[in-house]
Amino acid sequence: MKFEKILVPVDFSDHSEQAFRLAIDLAKSFGGEVMLLHVFPESMALVPPYGPALPADFGMQIERSATEHFEKWREEHCPEDLEVKSFVRRGDPSRAIADLVEETGADLIVMGTKGTTGLAHVLMGSVAERTVRTAPCPVLTTKADG
């Protein structure tokens, strides 16, 4: 099996940075490209009196910050000849991941897992677990050392 388009969902944790480094190695081996995806939840924009009001450009601020992180990671980890694309989306992470796979034709997802257990896992679930169950392509998960 040859992986030419590798999608890496990131939350900018050590786990997702390790997944990015692994995806780079795979892309170099297969002559492929890497696509970075950061997803932030739709529910962040609460309005008074139900919650804090966020600035109208809050989504643009997140996108700008994510783009800066992507650039830093590229500088730190990527060879110049490796194609890396980046995307920022708003919504449910596992749904956004599946949508981007369909949109781009990604043939592998490489993602970090924090290994959430107990009540946190029951209440929030795991993006990695949902992605493994619903993704239209293979998913490789990795956990950061430590």
User: Cβ neighbours of residue 82 under 8 Å, at least 6 residues apart?
Assistant: 24, 27, 28, 33, 34
Go through the domains of the chain in sequence order and give each one's CATH number: 5-142 (3.40.50.620)
pLDDT (tens place) for every residue of the chain, 146 residues total = 789 999 999 988 888 899 999 999 999 999 999 999 999 876 655 555 555 666 667 778 888 998 899 899 888 988 888 999 999 998 888 899 999 999 999 999 999 887 555 544 444 458 888 888 889 999 999 887 75
| pLDDT for position 13 | 86
pTM: predicted TM-score of the whole model, two decimal places: 0.83
- Alpha-carbon span 74 to 21, nearest angstrom: 10
| pLDDT for position 1 | 79
